[in-house]
Structures are given as C-alpha cells and as structure tokens.
Amino acid sequence: MVKKLFVIIVLIGLAVFFYGMLSSFSGNETLNMSAAYYAENGAEEVGAANLVTAIVVTYRGLDTLGEVTILFLTAAIAAFFLKSKDNFSKRKVKESSELLKTASSMLVPLIFTLGIYVFVNGHLTPGGGFQGGAILASGLVLLLLSEPLQKVNSVLFAVVESISGLFYVGIGVAGIFLAGGFLDNSILPLGEFGTLLSAGALPVIYILVGLKVGSELSGLLTKFQETQEEN
C-alpha cells in the first residue's frame, strides 16, 4: 500500500508536469515553417496528392525505412527465440463456428484486396503502405481464427519480406545516383499529379512497404500461432 501511495504521489507530480505542458499548448492558428513549406511545395516537388504520404515516404523517407526496420527487427527477434512447436498443428482446439469459417472465406479475399488497394493508392488517398500491410495481416488473423491449426507458409513471408526490403534499400540507393539523394523519389518521372502513376518512385516504395509490413506482421502472427502449445 505504501508503494501505491508513492505511485500516486509520483503520478500527481507527473500530472502537474503535464498540466504545465498542456497549459503551454495553445493550439495552432496557422501552419508553422516546416508544414507551410510542405503545403506549398509538396505537390510540386513530390507529386503526391497525399501530403502525409509525401512526407512519410520522401521528405522523411529515412524514418520510414527505420520503422520498416523496426518491424523487421521485431519479427526477427521473435523468430529467433520463439521456437516453433513441432506439434502445434496436432493440438486440440475447439472447432471454430461455421459462421466464422464461412465469413472468413468470403471476407479474406476482400480484405486482401482492400489492403492492396490501400497501399497502391497510398500517395493519393488516406492510407498507405503501413495501413495496407496491416490490413493484409488482419486478413491473416481472420484466417487463423477460423482455422487455428492451419499451416501457413512462413518461408513465403520471409522471402517477400527480404525481397521488398532489399528493393526498398535499392531504390533508396538508386536515388543517390539518379536523383538528388538517398530515397529521392524522382528517379522515376513524377507523372501527372493525382493519378495512380504519379509521384515518381513513391508508389513503388509504398507498395514495397505494404508488402513488407504485411509479410512481417504475418510472419509474427504465424510465429505466435506456431508457438502455441494448448488452446
């Protein structure tokens, strides 16, 4: 109880601190220097309708490479210590309901399609590689929920992951030679603003990111599935 009391005191301290921060935050009336720059020049320089995507993939492309790396790391780490159980597919589980099975077999293709759409159109509409990849993985979740014992081809995920990662880095490096620097999207023509084939290499990168995120998350999920001993 003494400990709880301490925690409360400390939390009060933290709250006071946060209150200070909150009261120093007065909202924005206009965009600040960086944001204004992106708003003014984003469309022209990157050619992506979605400014967030422009920032994520191009202006701050290194961050994105980094976050992809983090997912890769997570998956890799989990993979090397979560040892798959050989008999995971023989354990006893309750049969999934018919409803779930049927719905999943209908929905999964749709979900996959949606995921692909989201990352392919990442530079035009809300969404992008991460979102798309996450949607792909959520399809897999549904699949696994309906068929918990199903064996998933994790080698496929690994290969997709590696290839997309390599290409991503490759495109980045190509930027050094063909354009202004690492991860410059103008190695490909910017195309017509607002169309699918615009914004140079940006959609390509986002597709790779989507594939990579999707396969990484899927890989992680299957790892968890394979480690399960009982229900």
Partner 1 sequence: MVNLILINPIYIIGIGLGTAFLLGFFKKGKSVAWALMLAALAVMTYISFTWLWSFIFNGQLPEQVYTAGFKPPFSINLLMGKSEAFFTFLISFVGFLGGIYLFDKLKEQGTHAISVYLILIMGLNGIVMTRDIFNLFVFLEIASIATAGLIVLTPDIKAFSAGFKYMIASGLISGFLLIGIIFAYYFGGTLNIDFLIQADLLAVKGGVFAVFLIIIALLLELKPFPANGWGIDAYEASPAGINAVISAASAGAVYYVLSKVLPIADAKWYTVTAVVGMITFLGSNLMGIKQADAKRMLGYSSVGQVGLLLVFLGLSKQLGINFEFIVFGIIISHYLAKAGLFWLAGIVKTGKLKEWGILRRKPVLVFFMGTFIFALLGLPPFPSFFAKWTLVMTLSAAGMNLWVGLILLGSLVEAIYLFRWLGYTVKLDDNKELSLSTPLYKTIPVWVFGLLTYYIGYLSSTMVPGGSSLSMFYIPLAFVGVLFIVDKFLPVLIKNTVSIAAMAYYGWYYMADLTEFRMLFAIIFIGGGIITLIAGYAKNGKRIGFYPFAMMMYAGLAGLLLSENILQFFISWELMTLGSYILILRGKKSMPHALSYMLFSLGGAFLILAGLGLAYASSGANSISLDILKNVNQYSGLIYAFLAVGFMTKTAAIGLHIWLPGAHAEAESDVSPMVSAILLKAGMFGLVVLMLSMGSQSLGGVSLPYLLGWLGAITAILGNIMAVFQEDAKRLLAYSSVGQLGYVVFAMAFMSHLGWLTALAFALNHFVFKALLFLAIGGVVMRTKTKTMYEMGGLIKRMPFSFISVLIGIIALSGLPPLTGFAGKWLSYNAVIEKGWYFQGFLVSIAGLVAFLYCFRIIHVIFLGQPKDKFKNIKEAPLPMLIAQYILIGAIMLFSIMPNMVLKPVGDFLIQYFPDGALQWQGGTAISRLGRWSGVAIMNITMGIFGIIFVWLLFISRKAVKVKPFNIFYSGEAPSRPELTHFGYNFFAPYKKAVGFLVQPLVTRFWYGLADILHSISDLVRRLYNGNGQTYAFYVIIFMVVFSFFTIGG
Partner 2 sequence: MDFGQIAVSVGFLLILIGVWGILTQKNIIKIVIGFSVFDTGLHMIMVGIGYVKGGTAPILDGAIAPGTAPINIVAGIVDPVPQALVLTAIVIGLGVTALMLAYVVRLYEDRKSLDISSYEDLKW
Residue 153 near partner 1 by CB under 8 A:
no
- Residues in contact with partner 1, total (CB under 8 A)? 61
- What interhelical angle do 129-146 and 202-227 show, nearest 10? 30
Residue 189 near partner 1 by CB under 8 A:
no
In the complex, what is the shortest distance from the CB of residue 25 to partner 1, in angstroms, rounded to a whole number? 7
213 binds, among partner 1, partner 2, none (CB under 5 to 8 A by kind): partner 2
In the complex, what is the shortest distance from the CB of residue 213 to partner 1, in angstroms, rounded to a whole number? 14
Q: Is the Cβ–Cβ distance between 187 and 200 less than 8 Å?
A: yes
Distance, in Å, from the CA atom of 90 to the CA atom of 150, rounded to the nearest integer, reads 10
Q: Can you give the binding site for partner 2, defined by CB under 8 A?
A: 4, 7, 10-11, 14-15, 18-19, 21-22, 25-32, 34-36, 38-43, 49-52, 54-56, 59-60, 63-64, 66-67, 70-71, 73-74, 77-78, 81-82, 124-126, 128, 130, 193-194, 213, 220, 223-224, 227, 229
Contact residues for 194 (Cβ-Cβ < 8 A; gap 6+) = 49, 124
Q: Is 127 or 175 the residue whose CB approaches partner 1 more closely?
A: 175
Q: Is the Cβ–Cβ distance between 222 and 141 less than 8 Å?
A: no
5 binds, among partner 1, partner 2, none (CB under 5 to 8 A by kind): none
Contact residues for 202 (Cβ-Cβ < 8 A; gap 6+) = 46, 47, 48, 53, 54, 57, 58, 122, 123, 185
Closest C-alpha to 111, from 218, 225, 229: 218
Helix, strand, or coil (residue 168): helix
Specify whether the backbone of 48 is left (phi greater than 0), alpha (psi in -120 to 50) or beta. Answer: beta
Positions touching partner 1 (CB under 8 A) are 6-7, 10, 13-14, 16-17, 20-21, 23-25, 28, 32-35, 37-38, 45, 58-63, 65-67, 69-70, 72-74, 76-77, 79-81, 155, 158-159, 161-162, 165-166, 168-170, 172-173, 175-176, 179-186
